[in-house]
C-alpha cells in the first residue's frame, strides 16, 4: 500500500509541474526561434537549433530552463554574450569590436572593383600602344633579321 501511495504521489508531482501542451508548444517554438539566432560553439557553422553536438544540446537545455524561469529573449542573449562573447550570436551588434566584420565585405568589394578598373585601363593602354607602332617594311625586315629568318618580299616592295 505504501508503494502505491509513493507512486501516486510521484505521478501527481510530475503532472503538477508539467506544462500544458499549449504552453509547451509555445515554449518549444520560442526556443527554436531563439536557437536559430545563436551559433553552436562547437560546430561554428551551424545554429544552435541545427547542431547535435553535446555542448549545443546542453546549451539548448540551459536556454529552455531560462525560458521556464521567465527570462526574456533579450536577457538570455545578454547572459550568453556575457559568457561566450558576441561570437555566439549569428547577427552580432555593430560596435567598435565588430565594425570590420560588418564593413569588411563592402571594403573588399570596393577594392576588387578598383583593381578591375585598373586592369581594364592598363589593357586598353597596351592595345593603344600596340596600335601606335608603325608596321612598315623596314621594321619587318629588321625584325626578321634579328630572328635569322629571311624576309619575304612584301607587296609594297614589288
pLDDT digits (tens, 9 = 90+) for 24-62: 888 889 999 999 889 888 887 888 888 888 988 899 999
Residues contacting 65, CB < 8 A, separation 6+: none
Distance CA 134, CA 141 (A): 13
- The Cα 62–Cα 68 span in angstroms is 10
Q: Answer whether 0.75 is exceeded by the pTM.
A: no
Beta carbons of 58 and 7 less than 8 angstroms apart: no
pLDDT of residue 131: 61
Tell me: the pLDDT tens digits for 58-108?
999 999 999 999 999 999 999 999 998 888 888 877 788 778 878 889 999
Which string of DSSP letters, residue by residue, matches 6-55? HHHHHHHHHHHHSPPHHHHHHHHHHHHHHHHTBB-TTTSSSBTTT---HH
Q: How sure is the predictor about 23, in pLDDT bands with cuts at 50, 70 and 90?
A: low
43 and 56 in contact (C-beta within 8 Å)?
yes
pLDDT of residue 116: 95
pLDDT of the residue at 20:
47
- What is residue 57's three-state secondary structure? helix
Which tops the pLDDT comparison, 8 or 114?
Answer: 114
Please determine, for residue 2, whether its predicted confidence score (pLDDT) is greater than 80. no
Amino acid at each position: 500500500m505504501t508503494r502505491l501511495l509513493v507512486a501516486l504521489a510521484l505521478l501527481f508531482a510530475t503532472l503538477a509541474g508539467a506544462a500544458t501542451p499549449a504552453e509547451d508548444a509555445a515554449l518549444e517554438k520560442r526556443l527554436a526561434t531563439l536557437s536559430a539566432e545563436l551559433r553552436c560553439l562547437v560546430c561554428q557553422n551551424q545554429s544552435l537549433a541545427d547542431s547535435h553536438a553535446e555542448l549545443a544540446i546542453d546549451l539548448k537545455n540551459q536556454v529552455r530552463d531560462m525560458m521556464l524561469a521567465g527570462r526574456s529573449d533579450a536577457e538570455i542573449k545578454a547572459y550568453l554574450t556575457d559568457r561566450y562573447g558576441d561570437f555566439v550570436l549569428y547577427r552580432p551588434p555593430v560596435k567598435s569590436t565588430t565594425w570590420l566584420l560588418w564593413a569588411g565585405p563592402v571594403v573588399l568589394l570596393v577594392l576588387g572593383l578598383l583593381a578591375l578598373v585598373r586592369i581594364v585601363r592598363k589593357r586598353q593602354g597596351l592595345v593603344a600602344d600596340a596600335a601606335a607602332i608603325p608596321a612598315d617594311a623596314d621594321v619587318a625586315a629588321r625584325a626578321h633579321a634579328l630572328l635569322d629568318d629571311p624576309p619575304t618580299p612584301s607587296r609594297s616592295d614589288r
